[in-house]
Amino acid sequence: MVRTSTDQRVELDLSGIDRRIIDTYHLDLLPTERPNRSTAELLDLRGKVALVTGGGGESLGNAICHRLAEAGATVAVLDIDGDTASSVAEDLARLWNVSASPFVANVGDWDDAHRAVEEVVARFGTVDILVNNAGGAGSVGADGQRASAGRLFADATREDLDITVAVNYVGVMYMTKAVLEVMLPQGHGRIINISSEGGKMGMVGLAAYNSCKAAIIGFTRNLATEVGPQGVSLVAVCPAIMVTDATLQQGHFGSSLDGPMGESFKRSSIGRASLPDEVASVVAFLASDAGAYVHGTAVSVGGGASDS
């Protein structure tokens, strides 16, 4: 290791190192330019195209879109609801002066997922970042039907299970498969899968939903071993309780700590719930060069819920 005479930053000097060592440990792939870039530069997403599923509405997808746009990314806002996707895209362009466009698709449909990626590429030229955020315990299916949230597995209907699995797990695989057709040929890409702290815990009333979130963690880890050497990296992000106007108005929070929401809260060692923006900030970090070496793992952003 040597220090430059100009900025005193540490650089890697491979001159004189046995070529066999360089080849064995792929030392020539190290991002040796990054130590000489500022933190602000590492977090800068200008020139990157980010596709966010479930980007409409008022919760995590919305917050992720805004954080990525604030960092300079071009954002493709994909949602099953075209009106909410359009509203978010308009806000991004107005507030952050970036290119942003809405796209409509049901991520749990193979053809729809592939069509959406093709449309994004046709509009923006590529996809550098995919955030698989679409989902939820009360996910909405292609026909507008919503799965019941917090229902005991023994009481779940076939529709509950079909919608939950299609949106929360199958959709992640379909969107990832579609975007890999872009990322692998270009030799780079970042896929961030939104899982949940529930994917690491056992909770009453969320057997189907939490199982999908656990599957996302396994999918992320396994696919990372396949495509990492080809320049595409993956990471899962695991939020816990997030508070929005909608969750408050819809009665997700009761006056006692009974039920799935209360159970999750009791496990949190930080003593409070989170805002979607707190999770979105971590996603933006992981999408940037600053978080590039976080790969093939699940990052908890749940106030210690899965660690208590």
What separation in angstroms does the CA of 71 have from each of 1, 92, 156?
A: 32, 11, 42
Catalytic residue selected from 25, 174, 209, 293: 209
For 193, phi then psi, to 5°, come to -100, 120
Contact 256, 262 (CB under 8 A): yes
How many whole angstroms separate alpha carbon 159 and alpha carbon 156? Answer: 8
What separation in angstroms does the CA of 292 have from each of 95, 220, 306?
A: 27, 15, 24
How many whole angstroms separate alpha carbon 257 and alpha carbon 148? Answer: 20
Q: Catalytic annotation on 209?
A: yes
Distance of CA 182 to the CA centre of its chain: 18
Locate 173 and state its tokens. Answer: 């695989």
Category of 30 on φ-ψ map: left (φ > 0), alpha (ψ -120 to 50) or beta: beta
Q: Which residues are identified as catalytic?
A: 209
